[in-house]
Amino acid sequence: MRVVVPFAPERPKTRLAPVLDEAERVAFARAMLDDTLSALSTLDRERGVSVDPLVLSTAPLDCDAPVVVDDRSLTEAVNDHVPADDGDAPVAVVMADLALATPDALGRLFEPEADVVIAPGRGGGTNAVVVRAPEFRVDYHGASVRDHREIAREAGLSVAHVDSFRLATDVDEPADLVEVVLHGTGAAAAWLHDAGFSVVTADGRVDIERNSG
């Protein structure tokens, strides 16, 4: 299945600015993309899921997958790639900042046979979606998980959900780094470790700390 991975290589992850400078945010975002592509590649090689990745980038980029550059909004750019006609092949869209995604977690996306398969993100997002019907269009603005259910319902399409903490965890804010340090297994977790981040607890609350040494 074609798997579209939207990515913004320039000025990524601005909400991480309190803990990472711009060059670090670029490197960390890139590590998360590499983890996603690596997990998809493992699915294809080892799990019998045929995956044909395509990075949909807002700027030119070198990486381990074909790249299409499209600097329009996320919604517009993605909608150029989902099925438009009855004969079109299914397409998956997987965000590039799912730093906990593993081949097992991503593989669950491809199990349900529904017209639309949604992996909700925290805070109302849609972190991954499989689209098998040309009547469906993505709309990433606002509480997209609600809008995507509604778009499918209005078109009479079947919807399945993937209940995954790993796929629900997109990394936008400093608090999200706690999850990467505790549960990450790839390049993004290694990058944070090398940058001196660890998890600390104070008064029973869990937080991220950076070793300045």
Is there binding between residue 122 and its own copies (CB under 8 A)? yes
Binding flag, residue 153, its own copies (CB under 8 A): no
Q: Which residues pair with 95 in a beta bridge?
A: none
164: phi then psi, degrees, rounded to nearest 5: -135, 125
CA 54 vs CA 13, 30, 102, 169, 189: distances in Å: 21, 15, 18, 22, 23
The DSSP-derived string for 113-156 is -SSEEEEEPGGG-EEEEEE--TT-----SSSHHHHHHHHHHHTT
Q: How many CA atoms lie within 13 A of 62 on its CB side?
A: 0
35 binds its own copies (CB under 8 A): no
Q: Rule CB under 8 A: is residue 1 a binding residue for its own copies?
A: no
Of the residues 45, 175, 190, 196, which one makes contact with its own copies according to CB under 8 A: 175
Rounded to whole angstroms, the Cα distance separating 158 from 113 reads: 9
Residue of 11, 45, 146, 193 interacting with its own copies (CB under 8 A): 146
**H/E element, 11:** none
> Residues 56, 70: contact at Cβ < 8 Å?
yes
Residue 124 interacting with its own copies (CB under 8 A): yes
Q: What SS3 class is residue 54?
A: strand
Nearer to its own copies, 59 or 175 (CB): 175
Verify binding: residue 166, its own copies, rule CB under 8 A: yes
Report, in angstroms and rounded to the nearest whole number, the Rg of the chain calculated over CA atoms. Answer: 17
Nearest CB to its own copies, comparing residues 71 and 207: 207
At closest approach, how far in Å is the CB of 203 from its own copies?
9
Q: Least distance (Å) from its own copies to the CB of residue 134?
A: 26
Q: Does 145 bind its own copies (CB under 8 A)?
A: yes
Q: Does 211 bind its own copies (CB under 8 A)?
A: no
Among residues 35, 40, 179, 180, the one that binds its own copies under rule CB under 8 A: 179
Sites of contact with its own copies (CB under 8 A): 104-105, 120, 122-125, 141-143, 145-146, 163-168, 175, 178-179, 182-183, 199, 201, 204, 206
